[in-house]
């Protein structure tokens, strides 16, 4: 009874300190899930589905608009963008859509989030007066670090680099790498300065050896919009490989499977709606996963490849240990 009483007291302390204990009990999916957002009923909401497109379930609801979900490395939380407080900003929720929390107390226009591999930090784009700017922040803190001009950031699997798109203002878009240790920037692709367009960012493969992105490099842009398609490039900028043919509606926003053997991407269907497709990198087989409304990626989680990031239980363990020492 004494132990039970101490446990209840510890919970009470957390509530008194305004520390949310709900993430303690958040549960990652037990099977692979793709998180995406869609407009199917005149609203923008976040859905989950199986990797074959089955069992599509909506986890957010009107009146707020909710977009661009990304899984925490552990699968226990989803980071997303919502206008529920009046400004498009970053929020967190459990995988079932409950326990929604703001990431920052002070509102700002923050978009396109990404997790660090250890789940302790996030990267994102802030829309500033001069254009998009990449920022990073530690979860639970209000301090934001400005990194560089650019947007659509992706964090390398080893945590050492950020990849983002720069060159927006002059339409000479390129993949830029930022080394978090040396603070140096370098252009990964294309190395030569040419007119080019990239609708979204470059995403790292699970091993960090490659990046996937969409690219359109023909001018005038307006005459070749539909030729934007999916490519993969090696970590050193070599080995450019086109994955999806240029014929047909443009293909954008590639997302790696956790195993690194497939890519998700978006493309127009009948020029009336966007849908999510999956391509096998080994066989080239393409599957359409969504068929209703406008659908956008999104992130792919597989518990077999999850990193066990759960900082909240340590807080309770620390308080519990201190209480037992004082007893």
DSSP assignments along 212-224, one per residue: EEEEB--SSGGGS
Residue 315 banded pLDDT, cuts 50, 70, 90: very low
- Rounded CA-CA distance 131/125 in Å is 10
Residue 324 banded pLDDT, cuts 50, 70, 90: very low
* Cα angle 229, 33, 22; round to 5: 125
Instruction: Supply the pLDDT for residue 320.
Output: 31
Instruction: Supply the pLDDT for residue 91.
Output: 98
Cβ neighbours of residue 95 closer than 8 Å, sequence gap 6 or more:
26, 27, 28, 29, 33, 48, 59, 75, 76, 77, 78
Instruction: Supply the pLDDT for residue 194.
Output: 93
Instruction: Supply the pLDDT for residue 25.
Output: 55
Work out the average pLDDT over 149-165.
97
Mind listing the pLDDT tens digit for each residue in 176-217? 999 999 999 999 999 999 999 999 999 999 999 999 999 999
Cβ neighbours of residue 123 closer than 8 Å, sequence gap 6 or more:
113, 114, 116, 134, 135, 136, 147, 153, 154, 155, 162
Where would I find the H helices in 35-135? none
Mind listing the pLDDT tens digit for each residue in 53-102? 999 999 999 999 999 999 999 999 999 999 999 999 999 999 999 999 99
DSSP state of 305: G
β-pair partners for 269: 273
Residue 18 banded pLDDT, cuts 50, 70, 90: very low
C-alpha to C-alpha distances, 246 to 125, 172, 195, 306, nearest whole angstrom:
29, 20, 18, 34
Q: pTM for the complete prediction? A: 0.86
- Rounded CA-CA distance 267/94 in Å is 29
């Amino acid at each position: 009874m004494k132990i039970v009483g101490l446990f209840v007291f510890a919970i009470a302390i957390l509530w008194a300190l305004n520390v949310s204990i709900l993430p303690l009990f958040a549960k990652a999916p037990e099977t692979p899930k793709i998180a995406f957002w869609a407009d199917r009923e005149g609203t923008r909401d976040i859905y989950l589905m199986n990797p074959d497109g089955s069992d599509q379930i909506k986890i957010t609801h009107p009146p707020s608009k909710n977009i661009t979900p990304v899984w925490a490395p552990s699968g226990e939380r989803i980071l997303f963008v919502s206008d529920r407080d009046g400004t498009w900003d970053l929020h967190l929720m459990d995988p079932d859509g409950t326990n929604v929390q703001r990431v920052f107390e002070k509102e700002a226009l923050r978009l396109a989030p990404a997790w660090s591999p250890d789940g302790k930090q996030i990267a994102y784009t802030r829309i500033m007066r001069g254009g998009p700017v990449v920022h990073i922040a530690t979860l639970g803190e209000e301090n934001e670090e400005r990194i560089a001009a650019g947007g659509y950031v992706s964090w390398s699997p080893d945590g050492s680099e950020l990849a983002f798109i720069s060159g927006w203002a002059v339409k000479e878009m390129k993949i830029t790498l930022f080394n978090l240790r040396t603070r140096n920037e370098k252009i990964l692709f294309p190395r030569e300065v040419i007119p080019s367009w990239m609708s979204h960012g470059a995403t790292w493969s699970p091993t960090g050896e490659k990046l996937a992105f969409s690219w359109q490099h023909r001018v005038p842009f307006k005459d070749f919009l539909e030729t934007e398609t999916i490519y993969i490039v090696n970590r050193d900028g070599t080995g450019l490989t086109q994955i999806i043919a240029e014929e047909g509606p443009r293909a954008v926003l590639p997302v790696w499977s956790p195993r690194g053997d497939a890519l998700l991407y978006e493309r127009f269907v009948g020029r009336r709606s966007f849908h999510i497709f999956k391509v096998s990198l080994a066989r080239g087989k393409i599957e359409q996963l969504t068929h209703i409304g406008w659908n956008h990626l999104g992130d792919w989680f597989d518990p077999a490849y999850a990193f066990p990031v759960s900082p909240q239980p340590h807080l309770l363990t620390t308080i519990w240990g201190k209480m037992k020492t004082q007893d």
